[in-house]
Chains A and B, each alone.
Chain A
Amino acid sequence: MLQIKNLHAGIEDKGILKGIDLEVKAGEVHAIMGPNGSGKSTLSSVIAGKEEYEVTEGEIFLNGENIDELGPEERAHAGVFLSFQYPVEIPGVSVTNFVKTAINETRKAKGLEEMPASEMLKKIREKAELLEIDRKFLSRSLNEGFSGGEKKRNEIFQMAMLEPKLAILDETDSGLDIDALRIVANGVNKLRNKDNAVIVITHYQRLLDYIVPDFVHVLHNGKIVKSGTKELALELEEKGYDWIKQEATI
């Protein structure tokens, strides 16, 4: 599904990613962990196509197609979804209208008709239920005055509505209490299937108790310095990152 080859990227001459290789297959969950400033959020932004970052070397393929030249909306149309660490507030535009717009713009890009209103409504109801979101919430302005937990839940609601092929969850666990974490993780798990894939970016093992990864990668100083299975996450939880940093410098 996703192939990243020798990816170098940075912002304004400052290199942040220094040669990332990663392959994510359909049906898999990958966790990317690492200390602050290791490049985790940059990696997710670069995959989603944030234009402030410049790719200086390497390539990103989605389903065999090089997506380097695609804008963020085109990547979204191709099935990439990024759950933001800090979702943006859009006063005056309701959650419902926002997801409707997102879905119909994606359909338009694919040459499809707009989704019929009844189908849309049904889908919204279904996905809202999945994430235990009540109806009042859906008519509120997007992210405006939402608590940290509400914002994250709303991100996963959008993911549920858009049904991406590749979902990147950027620190979705931050700011969530244990109940919200369970609801969000449960939502993500229910959305998983053999045709899609998830990349979970996190500092902590906590989320990985709920969304169990097939692979864990440790990012340090713009490179993946260690990859393993879910046991690696437990080891990191126990020992911290220092031993990885030391290993990496050796």
Chain B
Amino acid sequence: MELKDKLLSSFMVFEDRLDDESKNLNEIRNEAIKSFQQQGFPSKKDEDWKYTSLNALLKHDYCISPKHEPAVEFKDVKKYFIHDIDTYKIVFIDGKYSSFLSETTHDGIDVCLMSSALNKPKYKIIIDSYYNKIAKKEHSLTSLNTAFASEGAYIHIPKNKIVEKPIQIIHFSTGNEATLLLQPRNLIIVGENSHVQIIERHQSLTSNVVLTNSVTEVFANKRAIVDYYKIQNDNQDASLIDNTYISQKQSSHASVHTFAFGGKLVRNNLQFFQKGEHIDSTMKGITIIGDKQHVDHNTLVHHIEPNCESHQDYKGIFGDRSTGVFNGKVIVEKEAQKTNAFQANNNILVDDKATVNTKPQLEIFADDVKCSHGCTIGQLDKDALFYLRSRGIPAKEAKALLMYAFANNVLESVKINAIKTRINKLIAQKLGVNLGFDL
């Protein structure tokens, strides 16, 4: 049976098994499964999926509701946490919440589970006003997630709260199932003047096949600050489709840093909607991949109101036969005068067989705006390489230093030092060097 058919027939069973309370989402789920049924999985015929094929991933017979009761010891997964700073943690194992590994709170803020938010009447008003409001229904994979989603992170920060501890959302898959499809769903609501920092990671612990189709909705109210960090360094048989939708109100700042260092196939759909003036939206990324890995960044910034800014800066380093895609769309509506929109995508191809497709799309309907975009694809500078080698630094380390220097400015806007340190370590690891100092 094709995966699509399997999913459609599983939906009925899935729906029956749900707890009574969460059945209030039935309507949303039913609508979503219909939408998925009509659209099916995206194919290369879709303009947005021209350079990313899901065919190889869709061949597997995925388990969609794992039966095993997974067990994971903290010592075995400690390294995947940012553990040198105090954080809240919402941890899932094979899609199920792990209270043992988590550290949640309801003390003034809600850092907890989607399932509990969906099931408890006191959250109903919030769920009704925010859930599935900005997730795009015309994205078939998002609809698929909406149909099946029952678990994920629920974060609600009321107004005027500066959340001191960053929140880590981590999904582990254990390999108890030979092939696993995970569909986490996160909802993050940040009140007026509040500030929150979130770190998200998906990590497979074995070489069994995992496909994660994740949807996150983020609402940043007036003057809120949301900093989101996505660390994508999964193993060779794990793939991720991340759909993140961010709605911003007046004078809010939202940033997403995506560090894509691993996984078989990674697709990041990242969309910002500016619903107010003086909004700042920042999306930055470093991609370093090799082998036959594939990473696709598909971004959208929708400038709807005047006097807003967006900043995009994606750096990519591609080795072996890896492939990269950057597709960055900026829409500036007629009313959105005085928009400043910047976009840069710079790539280095380390090997002859690596490829990058980069495509900026600007749709500007306002006449008083500053919009810039620039894409480059190049190779390592030979003169620079000679300079480093002439100082006694071997070619491999010299190349690593140059690549690091190339990607470095993306790290400047990372506000959590522990993340910077971690990313630097991952970069050094990814480039296969030990330079004797922390990059």
Interface of A toward B, CB cutoff 8 Å: 45, 48-52, 71-73, 75-77, 80-82, 84, 86-93, 97-98, 100-106, 109, 114, 158, 162
B69 is an interface residue with CB less than 8 A from chain A = no
Contact A88 B435 (CB under 8 A): no
**Contact indicator B437/A102 (Cβ below 8 Å):** no
The answer to whether B389 touches A101 (Cβ under 8 A) is no
The 6 closest A-B pairs by CB, nearest first: A92-B408, A76-B392, A72-B389, A106-B392, A102-B391, A88-B384
- Known: A92-B411, A105-B393, A105-B397. Is A51-B386 also a contact (CB below 8 A)? yes
Partner of B401, one of A80, A84, A93, A104: A93
Cβ of B421 within 8 Å of any chain A Cβ, yes or no, is no
Main secondary structure of the interface of B (DSSP, over half): helix
Q: Within residues 405 to 439 of chain B, which ones have a CB less than 8 A from any CB in chain A? A: 405, 408-409, 411, 435-437, 439
Contact of B390 among A76, A97, A104 (CB under 8 A): A76
Q: Could you say which residues of chain B place their CB within 8 Å of the CB of A97?
A: 435, 437
Q: B residues within 8 A CB of A88? A: 381, 383-384, 387-388
When C-beta atoms are compared, the residue in chain B nearest to A161 turns out to be B391
Query: Within 8 Å CB of A45, what residues of B?
Result: 386
Taking the closest CB of chain B, its distance from the CB of A212, in whole angstroms, is 26
Contact assessment for B382 and A87 in the assembled complex, using a CB-CB cutoff below 8 Å: no
**Residue tally, chain B, CB below 8 Å to A:** 27
B76 CB → nearest A CB, Å: 32
Give 5 new A-B contacts, CB below 8 A, not counting A73-B392, A92-B404, A109-B392. A73-B389, A73-B394, A82-B390, A109-B394, A158-B391
Interface contact B409-A91, CB-CB below 8 Å: yes
With A88-B384, A90-B402, A91-B405 as contacts: A73 and B390 at CB distance below 8 Å? yes
Q: Are A91 and B408 in contact (CB under 8 A)?
A: yes
Q: 14 interchain pairs (CB within 8 A)?
A: A45-B386, A48-B390, A49-B390, A51-B386, A71-B389, A72-B389, A73-B393, A86-B383, A90-B405, A92-B408, A98-B391, A101-B393, A101-B397, A101-B436
Interchain CB contact under 8 A, B408 and A114: no
Q: Which residue of A lies closest to B402 (CB)?
A: A90
B391 touches A93 (CB 8 A): no
| Shortest Cβ gap from A93 to chain B (Å) | 6
B332-349 vs A, CB cutoff 8 Å, 1 = contact: the mask equals 000000000000000000
Evaluate contact between B392 and A93: CB separation under 8 angstroms. no
Chain A residues in 8 Å Cβ range of B408: 91-92
Chain A positions within 8 Å of B391 at CB level: 73, 76, 98, 102, 158, 162
Q: Tell yes or no: B18 within 8 A of A by CB.
A: no
CB distance from B439 to the nearest CB of A (A): 7
A76: chain B residues at CB < 8 Å are 389-392
> From A80, which residue of chain B is reached at the shortest CB distance?
B390
Smallest Cβ distance from B397 to chain A, in angstroms?
Answer: 7
A73–B405 touching, CB < 8 Å: no
Q: How long is the Cα–Cα vector from A52 to B408 in the complex, in angstroms?
A: 27
Cα–Cα distance between A69 and B395 once the two chains are bound (Å): 15
The answer to whether B387 and A104 have CB atoms under 8 Å apart is: no
Residue-by-residue, is B356-400 near A (CB-CB < 8 Å gives 1, otherwise 0)?
000000000000000000000000011110111111111101100
Complex: how many Å from CA A115 to CA B234?
36
Distance to closest chain A CB from B18 (angstroms): 49
Minimum CB–CB distance for B399 against chain A, Å: 12
User: Once the chains are docked, how many angstroms separate the CA of A101 from the CA of B428?
Assistant: 14
Out of B388, B392, B395, name the residue touching A162 (CB < 8 Å): B392
Set B388, B394, B436: member contacting A100, Cβ < 8 A:
B436
Known: A91-B405, A93-B401, A93-B404. A102 touches B392 (CB 8 A): yes
Residues of A within 8 A of B409 (CB): 91-92
Q: Which B residues are in CB contact (< 8 Å) with A52?
A: 382, 386
Assuming the contacts A97-B437, A100-B437, A101-B437, asked whether A87 and B392 have C-beta atoms less than 8 A apart, the reply is: no
Contact B437 A71 (CB under 8 A): no
User: In the complex, which residue of chain A has the Cβ closest to the Cβ of B411?
Assistant: A92
Q: Report the minimal beta-carbon distance from B101 to chain A, rounded to whole angstroms.
A: 33
Name B381's closest neighbour in chain A (CB-CB).
A88
Q: Does A87 lie within 8 Å of B387, measured CB to CB? A: yes
* Chain B hits for A84, CB < 8 A: 387, 390
Chain B residues with CB under 8 A of A73: 389-395, 398
Q: How far is the CA of A76 from the CA of B388 in the complex (A)?
A: 10
User: In the complex, how many angstroms separate the beta carbon of A117 from the nearest chain B beta carbon?
Assistant: 10
Cα distance, A220 to B40, chains bound together (Å): 72
Nearest Cβ in chain A — how far from B308, in angstroms? 29
Q: How far is the CB of B433 from chain A (nearest CB, A)?
A: 10
Cβ B436 vs Cβ A72 within 8 A: no
CB distance from A201 to the nearest CB of B (A): 15
> Can you name the residue of chain A whose Cβ is closest to the Cβ of B397?
A105
What's the Cα separation between A81 and B392 when bound, in Å? 9
Minimal beta-carbon separation of A139 from chain B (angstroms): 12
Q: A90-B402, A92-B405 are in contact. Are A101 and B435 (CB under 8 A)?
A: yes
Chain B nearest CB: distance from A116 CB in Å?
A: 12
Look across to chain B and name the residue whose beta carbon is closest to the beta carbon of A115. Answer: B436
Q: Please, how many angstroms separate the alpha-carbon atoms of A243 and B395 in the complex?
A: 44
CA distance A109 to B397 in the complex (A): 13
Is B390 within 8 A of A105, CB to CB? Answer: no
Is B386 in contact with A50, judged by CB distance below 8 angstroms? yes
Choose among A49, A81, A91 the residue with the greatest number of B CB atoms under 10 Å from its CB.
Answer: A91
Contacts of B398 in A (CB 8 A): 73
Shortest distance between the CB of A155 and any CB in chain B (Å): 10
> Chain B residues with Cβ under 8 A from A162's Cβ?
391-392
Closest chain B CB from A183 CB (angstroms): 21
List B contacts of A51 (CB < 8 A).
382, 386
Report the minimum CB–CB distance from A162 to chain B (whole Å). Answer: 7
Q: How far is the CA of A86 from the CA of B381 in the complex (A)?
A: 13
